[in-house]
């Protein structure tokens, strides 16, 4: 980055004004303080503006180098600050950081919009785009040019000045609303605790749930108590095992009401305004609805294609879920209960149904899924498939719990660093995600990535995971492999910079390896005895892989359909978010005993930012791909088949967004997939 030649105390003290001479160039977290961010942003905004001005003020005709490459190199200082600040807010927020986020989020959005709407810059890109086939570009260069042209066009660069002005106002306001939305959800999660008083309140809870609740109480300065929080890793096991129906209802109602409390952290008005602004944005850009705008730059292309996939899977999933519901109601009757199964009962009676149908309980398998061994299993899969090795390293981290590994490829060469931040804490946003502190690229040298995985597991001695928790770890590791194995030249198409409904293919595909007996027999070992998981228990686990899959599928698809329907609105006048949710769920026949995985008031994927807006369907779109992709390995009789693994690395994991996804998939598999593999994977073929 360009250094300010003028010496100052602030420059000497602010790490963002320096080259980082830390191991592997990781951020110097021990020196970064809250007060460093705003001055760093101010300088980076100005520097980025100057870089763009230099590009557009050239008198020379546009070339790939003087326009596209220059654009690729612009804003590097800003990106470095964004990467550090964004993940700190997500993983270890403070009131001071959240205040900066409220300030900087709309300013960042306005800054980016100003560049992407720059008429002179777009004119240079458009001139190159029109003659792209005669420029002698490589396939990657042509794709990079296309992505820049598409991004600027979709941000309104070709609009009239008055429309560009209005669009910039919309983008800035949406950024403020998204920040407020996510901070409201975090505030609701931080403020709620269900304190369990004595043995009666702990009834039915196995030791690992009690231990986690005790640790959560200590973390909240309530020693000697047991506390359930609204973190998914806390509340879901409580709903699964607590025999106290009254407490299950209390925790459940608080959980689904995040962002819906009719108080200062209520998100419904924010959602209505976001929907209205997104609809206006789409109309300005010539699309009938925001969903049409969003999906035009995705593999799916149209809302109709999305709805067709979701409804194809919805029907057999609903049949499965209703059958499970009826069996659970029968268990209630047999036990002498005179109440109808409710949503807060589902997980509790599903556990009883699993015991009856599959002859095992979650508590029987959890002792075999120790966090460290599951991490080892994820590394083992990467080694077997791609020759990767992971060596622990001591580098600066943003929290004492953070761990780091140096990653090498099959040739022994350095691939990058991998960070794991696995434990829940009050300062961390819920969920699990992959991110980068630096992306791979070759434009400014052989730059290797800094990749991170973030989870929210309950910390224990040792930390034991559920089967779903362990699968989540593999999911995020799949994203991590996508980042670590990236091998492109240009930052715009590096790592996970791909279309939304392609980005989940590597992550969901990697989940398959966790479910394989070959992996489980090696790494699923009892945390006390070290004994491998018994064959009998493993067989039961494999036979029960699709247990409760009907409910899980309805939870997901209902969220995706409500997302789609909201963004198909042409107007949000008088939008009552809760009434709209109910109308959509009634239309599709959502069983009243099941709730959406993410209700709109806490649907961060869609409303904390725009990445998954109209695109939450992407997980299922990618699942069509991942089910078919794993079948490529199964068809050879070797789940680690080296030839298939090589094709996967060459055509999916290393390519980033450098080629069209459909082209990449055909290069890997020889054809495009159908939904049959997905229906088979979820156990729905017999119900279709």
* Residue 687 pLDDT level (bands cut at 50, 70, 90): low
How far apart, in whole angstroms, are the C-alpha atoms of residue 346 and residue 593? 7
Q: Are residues 107 and 84 in the same domain?
A: yes
Closest CA to 600 of 213, 233, 269: 269
Q: Single out the catalytic residue among 51, 72, 441, 476.
A: 476
Residue 146 shares a structural domain with residue 176: yes
**How far is the C-alpha of 63 from the C-alpha of 58, rounded, in Å?**
11
Distance CA 256, CA 248 (A): 12
412: left (phi over 0), alpha (psi -120 to 50) or beta: left
The answer on 243 and 203 residing in a single domain is yes
Percentage of the residues of the chain whose pLDDT score is greater than 90: 92
150, part of any domain? yes
> Which pLDDT belongs to residue 546?
87
Whether residue 197 sits in one domain with residue 180: no
Q: Is residue 590 part of a domain?
A: no
User: Which residue matches tokens 């939904």?
Assistant: 675
Regarding whether 150 and 65 lie in a shared domain, the answer is yes
Do 163 and 249 share a domain, yes or no? no
At 311-367, the pLDDT tens digits run 999 999 999 999 999 999 999 999 999 999 999 999 999 999 999 999 988 889 999
Q: Are residues 204 and 73 in the same domain?
A: no
Q: Name every residue whose Cβ is closer than 8 Å to that of residue 486 and which is 6 or more positions away in sequence.
A: 439, 440, 449, 494, 495, 653, 654, 656
Residues 499 and 648 occupy one common structural domain:
yes
**Position 6 pLDDT exceeds 90:** no
- Rounded Cα distance, 344 and 399, in Å: 35
Q: In this structure, what is the dihedral angle of CA atoms 597, 505, 449, 74, given to the nearest 10 degrees?
A: -90
For residue 688, pLDDT beyond 90? no
655 within some domain: yes
The Cα 604–Cα 183 span in angstroms is 10
Per-residue pLDDT at 7 exceeds 50: no
* Cβ contact 450:440 at 8 Å: no
Cα–Cα distance, 142 to 158 (Å, whole number): 21
Peptide bond into 462 cis (omega under 30): yes
Q: Is the pLDDT of residue 487 over 80?
A: yes
Q: What size, in residues, is the chain? A: 688
| Cα 311 to Cα 85, 215, 241, 295, 423, distances in angstroms | 39, 42, 32, 17, 36
96 located within any domain:
yes
* Per-residue pLDDT tens digits for 162-200: 999 999 999 999 999 999 999 999 999 999 999 999 999
| Domain that residue 437 falls in | 367-543+636-659
The pLDDT value recorded for residue 12 is: 55
Place 5 in a pLDDT band, splitting at 50, 70 and 90.
very low
178 and 200 in one domain? Answer: no
Q: Do 386 and 482 form a contact (C-beta atoms < 8 A)?
A: no
Pair 125, 242 in one domain:
no
What is the pLDDT confidence band of residue 125, given thresholds at 50, 70 and 90? very high
Residue 235 counted as domain residue = yes
At 601-652, the pLDDT tens digits run 999 999 998 899 999 999 999 999 999 999 999 999 999 999 999 999 999 9
- Is 79 an annotated catalytic residue? no
For 516-532, write each residue's pLDDT tens digit. Answer: 999 999 999 999 999 99
Cα angle 565-567-570, degrees, rounded to a multiple of 5: 100
Residue 475 Cα distances to 41, 507, 686, angstroms: 33, 4, 27
Give the 3-state secondary structure of residue 443. Answer: coil
Task: Indicate whether 25 pLDDT > 70.
Answer: yes
Considering the domain architecture, whether residues 197 and 217 belong to the same structural domain is answered as yes
Q: By C-alpha distance, which of 435, 415, 437, 442 is closest to 72? A: 442
Answer with the one of 207, 232, 256 that is the final residue of a domain: 256
3-state secondary structure (DSSP) of residue 656: coil
Chain segment 228-241, per-residue pLDDT in tens: 999 999 999 999 99
- What's residue 131's pLDDT? 97
Domain at 645, CATH number: 1.10.1370.40
Q: Using CA atoms, how far apart are residues 89 and 433, in angstroms rounded to an integer?
A: 13
Average pLDDT over the chain, rounded to an integer: 95
Q: Which of 256, 276, 301 is the last residue of a domain?
A: 256
Domain membership flag for residue 346:
no
Task: Specify whether the CB–CB gap between 204 and 363 falls below 8 A.
Answer: no
439-451 residue pLDDT tens: 999 999 999 999 9
Q: What is the C-alpha to C-alpha distance for residues 25 and 237, in angstroms, rounded to an integer? A: 40
Mean pLDDT computed over 111-117 = 97
Same domain, 71 and 219: no
State how far the Cα of 83 lies from the Cα of 155, in Å rounded to an integer.
22
Specify the number of domains making up the chain. 3
- 35 C-beta neighbours (distance < 10 Å), count: 13
3-class secondary structure, 407: strand
Among the listed residues 540, 557, 448, the one whose alpha carbon sits nearest the alpha carbon of residue 494: 448
202, part of any domain: yes
Confirm whether 596 is domain-assigned.
Answer: no
Q: What is the mean pLDDT of residues 527-550?
A: 93
Q: What is the pLDDT of residue 156?
A: 97
Residue 589 CA, chain-centre distance (Å), reads 28
Domain ends where: 185, 204, 238?
185
Segment 13-37 shows an average pLDDT of 96
Strands 450-457 and 414-423: parallel
- pTM here is 0.93
Secondary structure element (H or E) that encloses residue 200, with its range? helix 198-201
Tell me the C-alpha distance between 399 and 389, whole Å: 24
Residue 686 scores a pLDDT above 50: yes
Is the confidence at residue 1, as pLDDT, over 60?
Answer: no
pLDDT greater than 80 at residue 489? yes
Report strand pairing: 389-392 vs 403-408.
antiparallel
Q: What is the CA radius of gyration of the chain?
A: 25
């Amino acid at each position: 980055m360009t250094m300010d030649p003028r010496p100052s105390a602030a420059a000497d003290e602010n790490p963002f004004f320096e080259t980082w001479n830390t191991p592997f160039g990781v951020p110097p977290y021990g020196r970064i303080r809250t007060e460093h961010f705003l001055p760093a942003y101010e300088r980076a905004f100005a520097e980025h503006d100057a870089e763009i001005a230099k590009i557009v003020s050239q008198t020379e005709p546009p070339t790939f180098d003087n326009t596209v490459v220059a654009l690729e190199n612009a804003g590097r200082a800003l990106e470095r600050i964004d990467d550090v600040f964004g993940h700190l807010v997500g993983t270890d927020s403070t009131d001071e950081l959240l205040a900066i986020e409220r300030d900087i989020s709309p300013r960042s959005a306005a800054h980016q919009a100003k560049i992407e709407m720059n008429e002179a810059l777009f004119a240079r890109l458009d001139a190159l785009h029109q003659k792209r086939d005669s420029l002698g570009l490589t396939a990657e260069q042509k794709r990079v040019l296309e992505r820049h042209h598409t991004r600027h066009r979709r941000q309104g660069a070709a609009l009239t000045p008055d429309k560009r002005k209005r669009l910039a106002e919309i983008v800035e306001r949406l950024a403020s609303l998204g920040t407020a939305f996510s901070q409201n959800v975090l505030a609701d999660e931080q403020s709620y605790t269900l304190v369990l008083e004595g043995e009666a309140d702990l009834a039915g809870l196995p030791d690992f749930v009690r231990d986690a609740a005790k640790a959560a109480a200590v973390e909240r300065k309530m020693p000697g108590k047991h506390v359930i929080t609204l973190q998914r890793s806390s509340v879901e096991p409580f709903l699964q095992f607590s025999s106290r129906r009254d407490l299950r209802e209390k925790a459940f109602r608080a959980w689904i009401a995040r962002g819906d409390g009719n108080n200062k952290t209520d998100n419904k008005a924010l959602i209505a305004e976001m929907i209205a602004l997104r609809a206006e944005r789409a109309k300005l850009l010539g699309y009938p609805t925001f969903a049409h705008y969003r999906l035009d730059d995705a593999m799916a292309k149209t809302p109709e294609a999305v709805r067709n996939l979701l409804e194809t899977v919805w029907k057999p999933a609903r049949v499965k879920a209703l059958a499970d519901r009826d069996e659970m109601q029968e268990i209630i009757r047999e036990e002498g209960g005179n109440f109808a199964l409710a949503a807060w009962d589902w997980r509790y009676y599903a556990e009883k149904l699993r015991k009856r149908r599959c002859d095992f309980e979650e508590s029987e398998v959890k002792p075999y899924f120790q966090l460290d061994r599951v991490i080892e299993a994820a590394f083992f899969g990467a080694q077997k498939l791609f020759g990767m090795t992971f060596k622990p390293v001591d580098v600066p981290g943003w929290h004492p719990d953070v761990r780091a590994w140096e990653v090498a490829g099959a040739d022994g060469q350095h691939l990058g660093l991998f960070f794991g931040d696995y434990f829940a804490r009050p300062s961390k946003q819920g969920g699990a995600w992959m991110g980068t502190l630096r992306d791979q690229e070759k434009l400014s040298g052989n730059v290797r990535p800094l990749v991170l995985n973030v989870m929210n597991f309950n910390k224990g001695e040792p930390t034991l995971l559920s089967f779903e928790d362990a699968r989540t770890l593999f999911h995020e590791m799949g994203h991590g492999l996508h980042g670590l194995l990236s091998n492109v030249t240009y930052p715009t198409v590096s790592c996970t910079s791909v279309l939304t409904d392609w980005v989940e293919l590597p992550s969901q595909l990697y989940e398959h390896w966790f479910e394989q007996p070959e992996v489980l027999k090696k790494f699923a070992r009892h945390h006390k005895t070290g004994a491998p998981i018994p064959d009998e228990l493993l067989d039961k686990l494999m036979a029960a892989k699709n247990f409760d899959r009907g409910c899980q599928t309805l939870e997901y698809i209902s969220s995706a359909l409500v997302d789609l329907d909201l963004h198909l609105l042409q107007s949000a006048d008088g939008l009552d978010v809760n009434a709209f949710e109910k109308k959509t769920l009634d239309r599709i026949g959502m069983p009243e005993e099941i709730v959406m995985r993410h209700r709109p008031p806490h649907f961060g994927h869609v409303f904390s930012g725009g990445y998954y807006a109209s695109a939450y369907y992407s997980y299922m779109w990618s699942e069509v791909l991942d089910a078919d992709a794993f079948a490529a390995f199964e068809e050879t009789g070797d789940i680690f088949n080296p030839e298939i693994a090589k094709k996967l690395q060459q055509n999916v994991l290393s390519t980033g967004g450098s080629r069209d996804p459909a082209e990449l998939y055909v290069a890997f598999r020889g054809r495009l997939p159908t939904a049959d593999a997905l229906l088979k994977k979820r156990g729905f073929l017999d119900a279709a």
